Every structure is written in structure tokens, then in C-alpha cells.
Amino acid sequence: MTASGAQIDGGLTGETLGRKALAAADAGLDAALGRLFEFLRIPSISTDPAYRERCREAASWAAATLDDLGLAATVIPTTGHPVVVARTDTGARRRVLFYGHYDVQPVDPLDLWETPPFAPRFGAGADGRRTIVGRGASDDKGQVLTFLEALRAFRAAGGAPPVDITVFLEGEEECGSPSLPAFFAAEAGRLKADLALVCDTGMWNPTTPSITTSLRGILPVEVTITGASRDLHSGLYGGAARNPIHVLADILAAARDADGRITIPGFYDEVREMPDPVRDAWARLALGPEDFLKPVGLSVPAGERDRMLIEQIQSRPTMEVNGIFGGYTGEGTKTIIPAKATAKISFRLVADQDPAKIAAAFEGFVRARLPADCGASFTGHGGSRAFLVDPASPDLAHAARALEAEWGVAPVMVGSGGSIPIVGQFKSHLGIDTLLIGFALDDDRIHSPNEKYDVTSFHKGTRSWVRILQALG
């Protein structure tokens, strides 16, 4: 398309259209909030079969909203909850793919909600910030609507973004997206684009935007150690029989040394160091235990001792034990030596680490430490590779300038310790990179009771997408 000051369809220059769209976003804020409240009232809990029809309702609501914006929307069935795909076809030089999800987390424990989770309301944060309270407000309905309301602002301004748009919304993100592999295999052609945009991440703080330039991959593994053919009386067999819980605890303890490094052979082989300019920028952020750990009741970083805290959570791989169980766990006592013990483990992977290779290395590590009379079995739950944006990407630079224009401060380029598997699928199935730009805040209580989204995040998020779409064109 043309530069921002050149003529576009409808007689408006890009610069004029951008100003008009920003003004439309401001004028339409109250109506936009009303639409968000409609969306939030739909209890689209994907993990609970009882809400299957409500998930369909949310998909239909999203499709109708996209149709109203002039995008041709289709609700496509999957083996689970449907996906929504909508697109413009203006003949623009570039096409961007926007991804979000309409499903939400369960609301338990319900008694901790101050008001019903699907009766959205306005609230106020501790510092007086105006908020929207309700399940899905931040994750991800509020974030999705920042983008859709940006498209509405362009429409109200009498024009269209200088790029063609494909919107792709799924309804199973909160339960692992089990239907997406089959959908991609059958329907990837619908999603072809030059760049993907994801709004499911956060800001550095309430006044500083950020772009997530890396995501850790994930590898969930379950290991079970077996011993005797049945649970044994701990008085009769204690001291002679092998205890699988002891064995499992010893193996897990051996997998991490006193300096916080993982001891599995080959674990760090493909781990690349972040470039010095990136590490220097992270050091200037000065993220310390007071900021990150104190709010959750901790004080001392427990990762690799020779790494900054921000590296520990963003660019270094980890092995975390998510749960251990075996033997008797009920009320009172039951004096047994259990026949088996199980641990659930999640590896967070970085750079070029291959989940399959790490899984094989972990299995080898465990089997090498099994004593006589013990066996081991392993259950995998899939895995996804890490994601890294090229620091020299022109699209990254365009988006950064657009965010700085809106917020008055340059965005922070951060990594995320979490994982968004869809980003890897965009790369493997569609061959496109992704920009992860979101407006959530650390205190949004996503996945928890009383989830909220700041009205400023919603409003300036919409304005930010107007600027970003202009810049990408």
C-alpha cells in the first residue's frame, strides 16, 4: 500500500484516516464498552461440557460482530468448539492474521467472587484506575475487542486499514486447543497471511507498553515409578522393601544442582545466549525480587545463580515439578509402602530446544538412576517449541514506533516465561512470524476470581491497534 500521507481509497490520505479513526475510537468508547459487556455475559467455559452451547453462542456473537464490521465471517465446526474466521479482501499489498480466543476459564471458587462472574461491572483498582470486572475481561475477550473496535474505528472514519485482515478466533485455548491440529491440516489455506498478530499478553506496567519477543516452549511429562506388586505393610516390609516415593524424590532432586542448573545430559545443548544488547536492555529494567517475588510472598530467586532474575523467567529453560502423588493421601494414617509414585513435570524450553529430544533425555536420566526392583513409565502430553522474534524485523520496529506514539514511551521488548502453542503452529503450518502485543496488567487476576481489565487498557489498546495497522501498511 501507500505511505501514510498518500492517497487511499475513498479520497482520504492515510494520515487523515488515522486521525479520524483515533477520534472515532475516542467518541465510541462507551458503546464499545457496552459491546464488551455483552460479550462478557456469555459464559463460554470451554473445559466444561455443560457450557458447550454457550461456547457456540460466543462464537456466533463474535461472527455477527465481525459481519457488522464488514468482514465476511464464518463459524466453522471442529471436533470441539467452533472457530470463527473472517476476512477483508481489499487488494491490499499485505495481509495480517489476528488471533484471539473467545473461551474463558472456569470460575471456581465461586464464593471468592465479589459479584457474579458473568455479570460484568465497572470497578476501581487500588490506585483509582477504572476497571471492568468479569470472567474473560482480560483473558481474552477484552483484548480481542481492542482489535475489533480498532476495525470499527476505521469504518466509522470512512476508510479501511491499509492492510487486509483475517481474524481467527478459537474456543479451546483454555483447554489446550485440542481441535486446532486437525483444523490447521484441513483449513490452513483460510489463514494464509504475511504476519500474525496476537493480543493475549500484557504491558510492562500500567503506563508502559510492551511487545513480547519470545515465548518459552513447553513439554509436560508424567513419570511413574513402580516397586512391589502391591502396597506393603510398612512395619513388616519397612527397611527391606524399596519405596517408590523415595526413589522418585531422589531422582527429581538429582535433576537440579545447588546452583539451579538442570543436570539432565544435553539439556542445554541447543540453548542460545541472548544478544548483549538485549541483556543490557533487560538489565536496565532492574527487575528485582522486591518487584516480582515479594507480591507472592517470596524473596530470593531460585533459578540459575549466575543469571539475572529476568533471564530466569524469560530466556532460560526450566524443569518444574507440578505435583507428586503416591501411597495414601487421605485423612489420618495408613502405614504402607506404596507400590508406585508419580510426578507431573513441566519443562519450559527456549531457543532451539526440541521437545522430543528433551523428553528422551529425561527418560534416559530417570532410567539410569532406577535401583533394582523398580521400573518407570512415562506419559507425554504433547509439547511445543519456543518462539523468538528476529530483533531486526521491520514489522517489530513499525509496531514499536506505533506504540510509542500512543503511550508516549517506547515499549519494552520482553520475553514471556509462558507458552502460547498457537504461535508455533503459525510458524510451522503457515510459515509466518507473530507479533505479540497485549494490554493486560499483572494485577488483572486472570484465571482467578474477580478478573478485571483496565478501561485505559481497553481504550488505549484500541487506539494502539489503529496506529499499528497504519504502521504495518
Mean pLDDT confidence for 84-88: 97
Residue 262's nearest CA partner among 271, 289, 298, 220 is 271
> pLDDT confidence of 383, banded at 50, 70, 90?
confident
Tell me, what's the pLDDT at 319? 97
Apex CA 342: angle with CA 377 and CA 235, to 5°?
110
Say if CB 352 and CB 243 are below 8 A apart.
no
Average pLDDT value over all residues in the chain: 93
Residue 411: pLDDT above 50?
A: yes
Tell me, what's the pLDDT at 229? 97
Say if CB 75 and CB 86 are below 8 A apart.
no
Tell me, what's the pLDDT at 197? 98
Task: Enumerate residues 6+ apart whose C-beta is below 8 A from 245.
Answer: 225, 324, 326, 327, 338, 341
Query: Which three three-digit cell numbers place residue 19?
Result: 486521525
Tell me, what's the pLDDT at 12? 62
Instruction: Provide DSSP, 373-434.
Output: T-EEEEEE---B--EE--TT-HHHHHHHHHHHHHHSSPPEEEEESS--HHHHHIIIII---E
Tell me, what's the pLDDT at 13? 62
> pLDDT confidence of 5, banded at 50, 70, 90?
very low
> pLDDT confidence of 10, banded at 50, 70, 90?
very low
Question: What is the separation, in whole angstroms, between the first and last Cα of the chain?
Answer: 6
CATH class, range 14-215+386-472:
alpha beta
| 83-87 and 164-170 strand pairing | antiparallel
Backbone angles phi, psi at 142, to 5 degrees: -65, -40
Same fold, 14-215+386-472 and 217-283+314-380: no
Conformational region of residue 266, where left means phi above 0, alpha means psi within -120 to 50, and beta covers everything else:
left
Residue 78: pLDDT above 70?
A: yes
| 195-198 and 434-436 strand pairing | parallel
Residue 391: pLDDT above 90?
A: no
Say if CB 403 and CB 363 are below 8 A apart.
no
The domain spans of the chain are 14-215+386-472, 217-283+314-380
| 340-349 and 217-226 strand pairing | antiparallel
Question: pLDDT (tens digit, 9 = 90+) per residue, 305-358?
Answer: 999 999 999 999 999 999 999 999 999 999 999 999 999 999 999 988 999 999
Residue 390: pLDDT above 60?
A: yes
Residue 406's nearest CA partner among 208, 195, 141, 252 is 208
Tell me, what's the pLDDT at 160? 94
Q: How far apart are CA 430 and CA 425, in angstroms?
A: 7
CATH class, range 217-283+314-380:
alpha beta
